[in-house]
A and B are shown apart, each in its own frame.
Chain A
Amino acid sequence: MSTFLGMPTAPRGVGHLRQTAPFPVAARAALADTQLRSNLAKATGTIRAKRAAVVSELPDWEQLRAAGQAIKAAAMADLGEYLVQLEAAVVARGGTVHWAGDANEANRIVTRLVRAAGAAEVVKVKSLATDEIGLNDALAGAGITAHETDLAELIVQLGHDRPSHILVPAIHRNRTEIRDIFRREMGDADPGLTDDPAALAEAARRHLRRLFLSAKVAVSGANFAVAETGTLCVLESEGNGRMCLTLPDTLITVMGIEKVIPAWADFGVFLQLLPRSSTGERMNPYTSMWTGVTPGDGPQAVHLVLLDNGRTAALADPAGREVLHCIRCSACLNVCPVYERTGGHAYGSVYPGPIGAVLSPQLTGIEDNASLPYASTLCGACYDACPVKINIPELLVHLRARHVEETQRRRLPSAEAVTMAAAAWAMGSPRRFGAAQRAGRAGRLLGRDGRIGALPPPLAAWTRARDAPAPPAQTFRQWWRTEHSPPQRPDAQPPDPRPAAQPGSQPGSGS
């Protein structure tokens, strides 16, 4: 259980992986935002329906999921070898590979490469990895302007905002808000711009076209990297990625080390799983693949920055490493009843939703995202939706245990730990449990008509919005002793036949 201890996690003070407020506190603000609630319910509802429709078309969906899971597990089992193989293949085709232990190192590498290319601006393909490490801030600190070119990322960037969804970063914005942001922040926007989606897209297109044509350097992430060929791959919908990946002379790709897949043939599985799970499409509009440098065609300087930033720490925990199988489709966000109500900002990290709740704490160390593993009812909808079958509920439970064990190891006082220990002690024997039940019956005094409207802390959090049941006059085991005495043992004879009792006639079943 201690193998994962001591591995470096993502450093503090850089990037966007950490909560600034505990989840319940951050969620409270989100829950009160009616516009956000309405946007989220509408957007996640739409994408859920689209996903369900295209998934149901495939008779072999479950086999595809199993194949995706198996490929990822194999890749993680020999990650070191696949990464070395990937590096050799990229270099053989004229690319350059850089190894970044953490966010700071990755930011330094990218900044140096942009400067070396003589650029003061870069265009960016939507990338979670670069957002994770806070690359835009780092570049800005070096006097380099990073332009997001994905429409939703552009909305977020112009709005001085944070992404709130893995795939749809501006899911929390509606078109009126977007119009206002464009009018205010986009220098070349028409002051009479309307909130018509086509007009908004056209404004963004005109704004971005100038950037695409002038940029010398592009920065991207990658959905996949094939170890055997050195091929990098980006899936996208808007064509902005294709512009960035083909027009500038220098292309810098920042990729988490877990994105490597062993073989070209593995695309046969993932290109079926990913679009259907993420946008609910059979195939996404643009899939770009590049292998090193092609002389005279596309970028002539191709860099790959392999990012660890806590991933090896996650890999070192056998019960937690499954999180590295994630292909960032966001299906788990769209089906999550918690995410649907809070949106992504409440999670603090660039990785929100169920997958974020198990990924962010593993990248940063649990103490820096301690409330995230508890931000779930363990309803299991995420596990069912995951295209690579990551058992997110089980990971959440595992991380909760790690958190509690760490807290206990550091001997931090906790009212919860005292309560849990007391409950475990009381339930440790039927005699003690019976005594606790009898003591709890004092709760009947709090009740009126069988219900309790107010309980003391910590249960006050329950009765703020919900009544609690008053304890019944008789527990089940008391009823059993009266009705079925003497108490039975495994070798006891069947009881004498008697008329079946009725629930309504039994003490404790009525109010």
Chain B
Amino acid sequence: MRIALFATCLADTLFPAAAQGTVMVLERLGHEVVFPAGQTCCGQMHVNTGYQREALPLIRRFVETFEPYELIVAPSGSCVGSVRHQHAMVARRLGDARLAARADAVAARSYELSELLVDVLGVEDVGAHFPHRVTYHPTCHSLRLLRVGEAPLRLLRRVSGLELVPLGDAEVCCGFGGTFAVKNGDVSTAMLADKMRNVLATRAEVCTAADSSCLMHIGGGLSRLRTGVRTVHLAEILASTAGSGADGPGW
């Protein structure tokens, strides 16, 4: 299949390994990955902070950039959630019904990586090797906006060498919430403290998830406390092979 990658502005800028991992997994499975150069950002931060008018050109850019493609993938449940649940809504609210219809059509072809692999491509074993004790945090938007369900866990269970340990209170938000993490820094940190407590209780070396944003939050806390537990995006784990010695970002 020919698959267009939406790298997301966050992964593109700060966590390129998540987008690289997405490319590698899909290419290894024999697919062609393209990176439409016109892409920037889905606009979710603007929409969720109240700046819908400012988000509209970003939404239009996303739709125009990805409209030519049959299948679109992003290494983020949250950004795909925005594409699916916000793009048309914002366009409609601001009176652009035509853009809304186009956005709906593009959204219907846009998938988060684990959804694409398991639900669309029907793959669970991607031939990955990652010899570490890992716990998985189901990010809120993967879980409750996209309903990816077990897809990420199915993929992780088929990674050789990987010991998957369940996370306590896994479905509770980590406290990131975009600009919430800054506007409501204290509440955000209180939520993060509980998430970290659960991550540490698993005695995992690695906490993984399908969103660089939530991992930036959880990882930022784990790093600040020098816990020795690192965060690695799901795509990086799936991209790792026996020869790669992949260790992901160790910050």
Contacts and interface: CB of A to CB of B under 8 A. Distances in A.
Interface stretch (A185-193, A218-226, A243-251, A380-388): A380-388
B186 interface: yes
B28 interface: yes
- Among the interface residues A23, A337, A404, which one has the most CB atoms of the partner chain B within 10 A? A337
Interface stretch (B115-123, B199-207, B239-247): B239-247
Interface stretch (A62-70, A110-118, A292-300, A451-459): A451-459
A155 B192 CA distance: 33
Given A424-B58, A469-B251, A380 B50 contact: no
25 contacts: A23-B184, A27-B186, A338-B187, A375-B184, A377-B177, A384-B144, A398-B93, A430-B39, A465-B224, A466-B192, A466-B220, A466-B223, A469-B216, A472-B17, A476-B13, A480-B35, A488-B35, A488-B36, A500-B24, A502-B24, A502-B245, A502-B246, A506-B17, A506-B20, A509-B17
Interface in A392-446: 394, 397-398, 400-405, 416-417, 420-421, 423-424, 427-430, 433, 437, 440
A449 B249 CA distance: 10
A341 interface: yes
Given A28-B186, A374-B184, A430-B39, A379 B177 contact: yes
Nearest to A424: B54
A469 B14 contact: yes
Interface of B: 2, 7, 9, 11-17, 19-21, 23-24, 27-28, 32, 34-41, 43, 45-55, 57-58, 61, 68-69, 85-86, 89, 93, 140-141, 143-145, 171-173, 175-192, 216-217, 219-221, 223-224, 236, 239-241, 243-251
B35 A477 contact: yes
Nearest to A509: B17
A479 B21 CA distance: 12
Contacts of B189: 464-466
Interface string A303-330: 0000000000000000100000000000
Contact of A477 (B7, B93, B250): B7
Contacts of A450: 249-251
A337 B51 CA distance: 25
A371 to B, nearest CB: 8
A503 B249 CA distance: 10
Contact of B185 (A380, A397, A453, A462): A462
A474 interface: yes
A380 B145 contact: yes
A471 interface: yes
Interface stretch (A83-91, A234-242, A280-288, A490-498): A490-498
A383 B173 contact: no
A405 B53 CA distance: 9
Contact of A379 (B20, B173, B179): B173
Given A437-B13, A469-B15, A477-B35, A427 B185 contact: no
A427 B58 contact: yes
Contacts of A480: 23, 35
Contact of A488 (B34, B54, B61, B243): B34
A440 B180 CA distance: 22
B172 to A, nearest CB: 5
Contact of A503 (B24, B35, B86, B250): B24
Contact of B36 (A379, A420, A490): A490
Nearest to A399: B50
B48 A400 contact: yes
A503 B186 contact: no
A342 B187 contact: yes
Contacts of B224: 453, 465-467
Interface in A26-48: 27-28, 31
Given A376-B177, A509-B17, A503 B248 contact: yes
Given A380-B140, A427-B58, A429-B40, A24 B20 contact: no
A508 B185 contact: no
A511 B23 CA distance: 20
Contact of B27 (A24, A337, A476, A500): A500
A80 interface: no
A501 interface: yes
Nearest to A466: B220
A127 to B, nearest CB: 29
Contacts of A477: 7, 12, 35, 37
A502 B129 CA distance: 12
Given A379-B144, A503-B20, A506-B17, 13 more contacts: A341-B190, A374-B180, A376-B180, A423-B54, A461-B185, A462-B182, A467-B219, A468-B216, A468-B220, A469-B219, A472-B15, A479-B20, A492-B34
Nearest to B35: A480
Contacts of A23: 184
A75 B40 CA distance: 44
A502 B241 contact: yes
Contacts of B220: 462, 466-469
Contacts of B239: 502-503
A475 B53 CA distance: 28
A510 B127 CA distance: 22
A451 B236 contact: no
Contacts of B172: 337, 381
Interface centre among B20, B48, B143 (most CB of A within 10 A): B20
B58 to A, nearest CB: 6
B217 A466 contact: yes
A465 B16 contact: no
Given A462-B220, A468-B220, A504 B184 contact: no
Nearest to A447: B251
A505 interface: yes
Nearest to B189: A465
Contacts of B35: 477, 480, 484, 487-488
Contacts of B186: 24, 27-28, 31
A480 B34 CA distance: 10
